[in-house]
Amino acid sequence: MAAPTTSTPAPERRRRSPSGKVSFLASQRGRDLTLIWLFLLPSLAIFALYRIIPMAWNVVLSFQFWSPYKPAEFAGLYHYEEMLFYDDAFWQILWNTILFMISAPVGIALALGVALLVNTQIRGRNVYRTIVFMSYPVMTVAVGIIWQWLYNEKVGLINFLLISAGIIDRGIPFLQNFDFALPAVIIASIWQVIGFYMIILLTGLQSIPPNLYEAAAIDGASPAQSFRRITLPLLRPSIFLCFVVGIINSFTAFDLIFVMTGGGPGHATDLLITYIYSTAFTLSKFDYAAAMTVANFLLFVLLAFIANRLAGGEAGAVRREA
């Protein structure tokens, strides 16, 4: 009905400023840019508020004397000195954390075995994949409760099986024992995360072109040789990724440890993250906890860097692709 020539709204909406130029907000480009930044703003605000500012604040706090009811005072390296020279627990807990991180390859090796098996053309492979992966997305707090029950000294399944097999005579209180508590927690943690390793490795395996194996077979390579010469080198980025997941797992294991042992006995199962939590939120030593957080983050970055170098540096390229 309306004449098409008069119904184009765009030119009418453009208001010209006195100088004759189109003002920024009224121009098409200006509106585009405004919209782009408006769209980015909420996400950027959340990451600023919960990643960037806290990271910087942690560093500042670690050089201060500060508690919720006292004004901040410059402390220099006081907290770092306390951490490195006067806090015996810190070294034990640092060692626990490193042990926890470097136990990741055990889980990754197991996961690689499972990934190779479910990557074959057998019937029901999807069911196996689901079963192995199923422990990953469940609530870690519940996983902790299940495992502390499995480890129970008197009626726990693990002690029952060990006794039935004649390996031990009487139940071991795994989680109350200084020698067994940390390995026990690590096993529970590997049980939960192994499915995720498997999925990462499976994705890596499936991206290897099958003609490489065919060519190797024609050249007379044994399966072991093609595994060592083709599979492992091409899986390097995936293995590196698993290792980073394993390192990050030493942070997410907070839930597991909080429920299973609370860091005990003594500090036998305390990781830096659980120690940081109790130092900050039960002892209210926020400043000291901030210094340990900085140490924990540096350890994480260092190990991720080493893993990247071991992976031949290619993994960094994969990550940057996005």
Interface of this chain with another protein, residues 167 to 196, rule: CB under 8 A? 191, 194-196
Q: Residue 120 corresponds to which tokens in the numbers above?
A: 């074959």
We find the least distance from the C-beta atom of residue 300 to another protein, in angstroms, to be: 7
Of the candidates 75, 76, 80, 44, which has an alpha carbon nearest to the alpha carbon of residue 298? 80
CA–CA separation, 202 and 112 (whole Å): 8
**Contacts of residue 268, Cβ cutoff 8 Å, sequence gap at least 6:** 96, 178, 181, 182, 261
We find the least distance from the C-beta atom of residue 255 to another protein, in angstroms, to be: 4
- If one asks whether residue 95 binds another protein (CB under 8 A), the answer comes out as no
We find the least distance from the C-beta atom of residue 18 to another protein, in angstroms, to be: 27
- Alpha carbon 113 to its chain centroid, in Å, reads 22
C-beta of 18 vs 39, nearer to another protein: 39
- If one asks whether residue 32 binds another protein (CB under 8 A), the answer comes out as yes
Q: Is the dihedral of CA 151, 153, 154, 160 positive or negative?
A: positive
Between residue 208 and residue 267, which ones bind another protein under the rule CB under 8 A? 238, 241, 245, 248, 251-252, 254-255, 258-259
C-beta of 18 vs 286, nearer to another protein: 286
Judged by CB under 8 A, the number of residues near another protein is: 96
Element (H, E) at 66: strand 64-67
CA–CA separation, 191 and 170 (whole Å): 25
C-beta of 121 vs 211, nearer to another protein: 121
The correct pick among 104, 184, 200, 235 for binding another protein (CB under 8 A) is 200
C-beta of 131 vs 168, nearer to another protein: 131
Between residue 275 and residue 294, which ones bind another protein under the rule CB under 8 A? 276-277, 280-281, 286, 289-290, 293
We find the least distance from the C-beta atom of residue 163 to another protein, in angstroms, to be: 8
User: In three state form, how does the secondary structure of 12-23 look?
Assistant: HHCCECCCCCEC
Of the candidates 204, 202, 214, which has an alpha carbon nearest to the alpha carbon of residue 129? 202
Encode burial over 217-247: b for 16+ CB neighbours within 10 A, e otherwise.
eeeebeeeebbeebbeeebbbbbbbbbbbbb
- 231 close to 208: Cβ distance less than 8 angstroms: yes
- 83 close to 91: Cβ distance less than 8 angstroms: no
| Only segment of 99-107, 176-184, 225-233, 269-277 that touches another protein (CB under 8 A) | 269-277
C-beta of 132 vs 268, nearer to another protein: 132
* DSSP per residue, 197-223: HHHHHHHHHHTS-HHHHHHHHHTT--H
Element (H, E) at 65: strand 64-67
The correct pick among 12, 88, 169, 321 for binding another protein (CB under 8 A) is 321
C-beta of 230 vs 318, nearer to another protein: 318
We find the least distance from the C-beta atom of residue 20 to another protein, in angstroms, to be: 25
Between residue 120 and residue 159, which ones bind another protein under the rule CB under 8 A? 120-124, 128, 130-135, 137-143, 145-150, 152, 154-155, 157
C-beta of 75 vs 289, nearer to another protein: 289
Between residue 34 and residue 63, which ones bind another protein under the rule CB under 8 A? 35-37, 39-40, 42-44, 46-47, 49-55, 57-58, 61
